[in-house]
């Protein structure tokens, strides 16, 4: 009897859950809230907030803060939800301008921190002047730290960290810099390495041999044939 009663209670509970599932109303674009079933580890929230002051001027941290900031999708830029809007739009054959959309919040955050972190600084911008499109390069120094914590740019349910961990640190070991304009220039790599590596001179000599412009050689790197200061 207890088993039978348990099954009956289970059916009643199942019925109650189904009745609470979100359903579309008669008014298109209006839907029931799903707050009760939302994951408490909200993927749109960062693991920790940045507490250290930002350096003056342009920096990697400031750029990432802007890149990971919340963006509100509304008006002509509203979101066509795959569950709420797309099926109804497809069944009714609505054109793009007449499609039902909902307001939403978009945000980029890191879910799986990589073993090796590579950050590319966008230095080029397209400029539209009427029918013409031109390109320009952003000048100026971008500050980067030797030790960088990406926790403020990771989501709360970030992977590959220990329980209770609140910092995800990376140590800088290489920088690639571009000198010149959009039409031409040179790339120079600065790499942290151990002192007195036997292959250093051979590597520099091979790099100089492959370089088309010998005058682009950085003055801070000594020639293999000349003594270092």
Name the residue among 175, 190, 183 with its Cα closest to residue 137: 183
Listed residue (110, 102, 103, 119) closest to 45, CA to CA: 110
Contact 58, 140 (CB under 8 A): yes
Q: What angle do CA 66, 70, 76 make, to 5 degrees?
A: 110
Domain boundaries, the chain: 185-218
110 close to 161: Cβ distance less than 8 angstroms: no
Token pair recorded at residue 154: 């990771």
**Would the pTM count as exceeding 0.75?**
no
Strands 104-106 and 147-149: unpaired
The C-alpha R_g of the chain, in whole angstroms, comes to 28
Instruction: Name beta bridge partners: 71.
Output: 106
Q: What is the DSSP string of 47-67?
A: SS---SPPPSSSBHHHHHHHH
Answer yes or no: are the C-beta atoms of 101 and 79 closer than 8 Å: yes
Would you give per-residue pLDDT tens digits along the chain (229 residues)?
444 444 444 444 433 333 333 344 333 433 333 444 445 557 778 888 887 777 777 899 999 999 999 999 998 888 888 888 888 787 777 777 778 888 888 899 999 999 999 999 888 888 888 889 888 888 788 888 899 999 999 988 888 888 888 899 999 988 988 888 877 888 988 888 766 666 667 766 666 665 544 444 444 444 444 443 3
pLDDT of amino acid 10: 43
């Amino acid at each position: 009897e207890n088993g039978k009663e348990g099954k009956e209670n289970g059916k009643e509970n199942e019925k109650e859950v189904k009745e609470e599932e979100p359903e579309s109303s008669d008014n298109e674009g209006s839907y029931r809230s799903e707050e009760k079933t939302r994951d408490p580890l909200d993927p749109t929230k960062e693991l920790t907030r940045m507490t250290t002051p930002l350096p003056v001027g342009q920096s990697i941290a400031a750029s990432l803060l802007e890149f990971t900031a919340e963006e509100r999708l509304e008006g002509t830029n509203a979101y066509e939800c795959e569950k709420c809007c797309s099926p109804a739009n497809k069944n009714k054959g609505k054109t793009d301008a007449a499609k039902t959309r909902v307001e939403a919040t978009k945000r980029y955050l890191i879910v799986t921190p990589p073993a090796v972190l590579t950050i590319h600084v966008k230095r080029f911008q397209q400029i539209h002047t009427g029918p013409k499109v031109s390109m320009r390069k952003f000048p100026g120094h971008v500050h980067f730290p030797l030790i960088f914590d990406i926790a403020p740019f990771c989501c709360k349910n970030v992977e590959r960290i220990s329980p209770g961990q609140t910092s995800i640190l990376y140590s800088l070991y290489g920088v690639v810099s571009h000198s010149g304009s959009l039409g031409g220039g040179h790339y120079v790599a600065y790499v942290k390495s151990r002192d007195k590596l036997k292959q250093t001179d051979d590597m520099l000599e091979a790099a100089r041999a492959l370089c088309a412009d010998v005058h682009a050689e950085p003055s801070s790197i000594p020639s293999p044939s000349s003594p270092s200061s």
